[in-house]
Structure 1
Amino acid sequence: MTALQNFGANLSFTPRAFFVPETEADVLEILDAYRGRNIRVIGRLHSWSGAPAGEDVVLDLCRLNSVEATTMPEGVRARVGAGCQIKRVLEELERQANVTLPTLGLITEQAIAGAISTGTHGSGKHSLSHYMSEIRVATYDPATGEPVIRTITEGPDLAAARCSLGCLGVIVSVGFLCRLPYNVEEHFERCDALDEVLTLEVSYPLQQFFLVPWNWKFWVQCRRETVAPRSLLASLYRLYFFATLDISFHVLLTFLQQYLRSRRLTKFFYRRVLPWTVIRGWKVVDRSQEMLIMEHELFRHIEIEVFVTRSRLAESLGYVRGLLEWCDGDRSGLDETRQQQLRELGLSAELEAGCGAYLHHYPICVRRVQPDETWISMAAGGDEDWYALSFISYARPDERAGFFQFAELLARSMAGLFDARPHWGKWCPIEGETARRLYPELETFRTICDQADPDGRFRNAFVRQRIFGEAGQSRAENTGGLQPPVAGQ
């Protein structure tokens, strides 16, 4: 039996059967041999939720990694094997047809099917799921019960397949319209208020920004597409970014969090040291796949991310600051009105237990995502842009009790106060009834899943509890094998 563990080391499971199929025909043979069993698929396991976990039959599709770019009247279309990592997709699209992906997330380590299945996104555009125009799924024919490959290209089923958490079957390939390569101009600015940040967004629609804890200023990566050529100093800028922000910053944070464990030094770093490490106003132009990604996979961490609409962004960030101060032990962080609202949400015990239990030690990353044409991606529906607020911890896997306590309080309170949606692929502690309220089209998605997979063969504990609202499971089952946040963890 093969033991599997995710990138964050908070998810581990040992399936009864584990396969690495070479071809789509192999996938169908496995479905045939294990009909009646529960089947799940893993990508690169760069997820912190229980979405990929499977206790029965698990498939790793890393060998289904073909990339085929075809020139059509409407442009270049790509069909990509489900297990292909995004970094290879980028390389092959450029080599074969001098095109690129329609959007990019922060990392390129993920398998493309895993990325779309959980709603992976970048900043300033729709999520990657939104752009999928063809999804091919290995499943059982509801009429005959035989394994088949179903091609989904339109209608409500496509909206479901674009972000499905594996509920429709085994994705074997995805198809989408590519775009021409493009350059991105970037520079850093510091802002004292959110209004300044949003004003910059008009000129820099691809920007992402950071709310810096204990300093409470905003650092903005001002980004926009440009027809300007690659800067002469682009390589030097990438070296500076990699050495300073991707490496040195994270090494220092890891040292502060895992070894010194000093609240005073952490706050001193953000208030006095960090501002000197960021060069403001250095405008550099480089290729999109260089500018829009970071090397977050180099350091193990855990993360929760919540999505709010633009109209609720300002109040949400104000609440985040107050909650972080409260969790650091400052009871003035949340006024009596806000405390009463949390009590009315049934969070009295969590509120009291969280006071003084956690020091947040990483900048809150905020990214804008345009509404998706999907049923359950975090940016699904509505006519407002969504903003993803990301909270990262570099605590050791056995020292995350404070983070889990904070993350659960954050997710439950922001869902109640601001209708915030936690990212399906990150730490996701919401319950089924909460999901039903947050996603107006959840019933549509459930109906499509029931029609395609009436016996629920492609569901695990995580999706049964969160998507289909099934109760009666233990906490460990609810998280799909995640280590529960008990004392000492």
Structure 2
Amino acid sequence: MIDHSAHAPSARRTNWAGNITFGAKQLHTPASVAELQDLVAAGTAVRALGTGHSFNTVADTSGSLISVAGLPRSIEIDGEARTATVSAGLRFGELTDALHRAGFALHNMGSLPHISVAGACATGTHGSGVGNRSLAGAVRALELVTADGHLVTLRRGEPDFDGAVVSLGALGVVTRLTLDLVPAFDVQQWVYEAFPQDRLLARFDEVMSEAYSVSLFTGWHGGPVDQVWLKRKVGDDGPRTAPDQWHGATLASGPRHPVPGVAAEHCTRQQGVPGPWYARLPHFRLEFTPSNGDELQSEYFVARHDAVAAYEALDRVRDRFAPLLQIGEIRTVAGDGLWLSPAQGRDSVAFHFTWVPDTAAVMPALRAIEEALAPFAARPHWGKVFTTGPGALRELYPHYADFEGLTTRFDPAGTFRNDFLAHHFPRTH
């Protein structure tokens, strides 16, 4: 991941995958909130930069990039309220151990613990589980520096809050977030292989509900699903054993990586070995970089009740995208009320695609996928590669116009606007 700490070289100008070269003239890493306020107030084109794990230009600007990784790092746990207030530049993997030692956990984790808390929430990055909301769903309050340099705090239940959590950096630079916590728990993880496709389609909801988090990995080759990753909470009765056969799939004989042929050393512990939530819910371990960034990613969310029909629609056009895939993943996310969350208003299934690093070749594949999923009102992940235009997005998000109004009110001069926002949220007045 990109290191934007005070000691990092300021010349780094690409995202993690290397497919985006930032157009910013400067990269600032302020050491205090006061310094950040001065930088924002003096700027005319400013964008916040997290760990750089977005695959499009959502974080780009022609002016100044500002990383909050250099702000004082803090984790303030309120055991009675079951919350943690954390500095926005922290990566998830940097706060989980402290939470666990205090007896608490986050309700969900993404595939990577390497991503920043603020960046993940701002783009609707999610995690998995039929009963688990996205990472942004845990936000109870957020503090941000607005375009005039003022420090503003928004809390759950206030009028602007639901539009401000997943905000794509359009309202300001987030400095701190307060997150809901749950009691700490342990998880066991198993991998099954060669899951028959007909079993999946006949029992989709049952399959996806059989563990705290379930991930399906497929190369979309028309045969069985390559792998099923089951992440089960350890209950009061202690660790469980797993059968050799599960819905026609076979228990893996050893650790597995989601991408065929790749060694599993970077993956979180499998084969049913119990471990704390933060060491099992992600797919990859914090102490390793999961790949060299040689990939592109896309992801689309549909209502969970449309999952089987959407799967079948993709399967009919798999020859148009499968040759460019490294792997595909299918997960569930519980619905929420955040305006720009891809799971807003509906329990969702996310179809994820990890591509070879060839943008020109991937674009026609994206169009085929978006055409296939159009009948299901598929919402793209804001931080990944997609071609869905502003007209379609307006129809996909009931609060699209509300968000436009919120950005105009918070940032009338467009200090935080960039080409990405101008394209997807064009101001017509």
What's the TM-score, normalizing by structure 1? 0.74
1:468 matched to which residue of 2? 426
Distance 1:164 1:157 in 2: 11
1:150 aligns with 2:152: yes
CA contact (8 A) 1:64 1:84 kept: no
1:305 aligns with 2:263: no
Which is worse superposed, 433-442 or 309-318?
A: 309-318
State the 1:458 CA deviation: 0.9
Between the two proteins, the alignment pairs up a number of residues equal to: 393
List alignment gaps of at least 5 residues for structure 2.
Answer: 1-9, 243-250, 265-269
Residue among 283, 290, 293 paired with 1:294: 283
Shift in CA distance, 379/197, structure 1 to aligned 2, threshold 3 Å: same
Distance 2:252 2:92 in 1: 20
Shift in CA distance, 449/387, structure 1 to aligned 2, threshold 3 Å: same
Residue among 338, 343, 352 paired with 1:374: 338
Distance 1:205 1:402 in 2: 36
Which structure 2 residues correspond to residues 34-433 of structure 1 after superposition, within 5 A? Answer: 34=43, 37-64=44-71, 66-75=73-82, 77-95=83-101, 97-124=102-129, 125-140=132-147, 146-154=148-156, 155-189=158-192, 190-193=195-198, 194-218=201-225, 219-227=227-235, 229=238, 240-241=254-255, 244-245=256-257, 249-250=261-262, 283-295=272-284, 297-300=290-293, 301-325=295-319, 327=320, 359-382=323-346, 385-393=347-355, 395=356, 397=357, 399-411=358-370, 413-414=371-372, 416-433=374-391
| Equivalent residue letter for 1:152 | L
1:6 aligns with 2:15: yes
| Equivalent residue letter for 2:278 | Q
State the 1:226 CA deviation: 2.2
Larger Rg: 1
State the 1:400 CA deviation: 3.8
Distance 2:283 2:107 in 1: 18
Identical aligned pairs, as a percentage?
22
Distance 2:20 2:263 in 1: 24
State the 1:70 CA deviation: 2.9
CA contact (8 A) 2:302 2:350 kept: yes
Residue among 385, 392, 396 paired with 1:434: 392
Distance 1:182 1:220 in 2: 22
Shift in CA distance, 156/414, structure 1 to aligned 2, threshold 3 Å: farther
Shift in CA distance, 319/239, structure 1 to aligned 2, threshold 3 Å: closer
CA contact (8 A) 1:184 1:288 kept: yes
1:32 matched to which residue of 2? 41
3-state secondary structure, aligned to 1:308: strand
CA contact (8 A) 1:67 1:89 kept: no
3-state secondary structure, aligned to 2:262: helix
State the 1:49 CA deviation: 1.6
Shift in CA distance, 240/161, structure 1 to aligned 2, threshold 3 Å: farther
CA contact (8 A) 2:15 2:22 kept: no
| Equivalent residue letter for 1:8 | A
Shift in CA distance, 132/238, structure 1 to aligned 2, threshold 3 Å: farther
CA contact (8 A) 1:65 1:85 kept: no
Distance 1:391 1:174 in 2: 30
Shift in CA distance, 457/287, structure 1 to aligned 2, threshold 3 Å: same
Shift in CA distance, 212/65, structure 1 to aligned 2, threshold 3 Å: farther
| Equivalent residue letter for 2:416 | F
State the 1:284 CA deviation: 4.0
3-state secondary structure, aligned to 1:289: helix
1:398-424 CA-to-partner distances (Å, cap 9, x unmatched) read x4422222013323x145322101100
| Equivalent residue letter for 2:77 | T
Distance 2:407 2:427 in 1: 14
State the 1:428 CA deviation: 2.4
Distance 1:206 1:251 in 2: 23
State the 1:31 CA deviation: 1.9
Which is worse superposed, 8-17 or 372-381?
A: 8-17
Two-structure CA RMSD over aligned residues (Å): 2.8
What's the TM-score, normalizing by structure 2? 0.84
CA contact (8 A) 1:369 1:379 kept: yes
State the 1:286 CA deviation: 2.5
Distance 2:181 2:386 in 1: 31
CA contact (8 A) 2:310 2:373 kept: no
State the 1:134 CA deviation: 0.7
List alignment gaps of at least 5 residues for structure 1.
Answer: 141-145, 253-279, 329-357, 472-489
